[in-house]
Amino acid sequence: MLSPKKLKYRKHMRRLGKDSPAQKTNSVAYGDFGLVSLELKWITARQIEAARVAMTRKIKRGGRVWIRIFPHKSYTKKPAETRMGKGKGNVEAWIAEVKNGTVMFEMSGVPVELAAEAMALAGAKLPVKTKFVVRREMEQ
């Protein structure tokens, strides 16, 4: 599962970013097809891994898959029935904050129909609404 190797601070503030479109990762850069997020949400490392496994199994390890998001942010949680105070809770999961318009996964080396099916399976594993895009559509 994905998690950062080294951080300056292990525990982050628990807030959601601004609901503005993605600026940097908003185009298909490596592959021919992409899976784009249509809303702002947190995606855990487990969800990213589940989507990756679903895609690679559908294409039967035929093409190439790129994961364009990484869970840099920690998500902490205090145990149930614990009194207030005594510091911040333990790290529960690592999350990636995904904005609308972010290309989360890319794929190449497979036919369009198979890529669309694989991306639909991956999108079903994620908590965000997604859209399948082809590189030619993104450039126009």
Return the pLDDT at 136.
Answer: 74
Count of C-beta atoms within a 10 Å radius of residue 122: 26
Q: Which two tokens stand for residue 91?
A: 């790290």
CA-based nearest residue to 92, from 126, 48, 49, 46: 46
Q: In the prediction, which pLDDT does 104 show?
A: 97
Domains of the chain in sequence order: 33-79+87-139 (3.90.1170.10)
Q: Which pLDDT belongs to residue 51?
A: 97
Average pLDDT of the chain is 93
Q: Mind listing the pLDDT tens digit for each residue in 77-93?
A: 999 999 999 999 999 99
CA atoms of 44 and 10, how far apart (whole Å): 16
pLDDT in tens, 52-74: 999 999 999 889 999 999 999 99
Q: Provide the pLDDT for residue 140.
A: 53
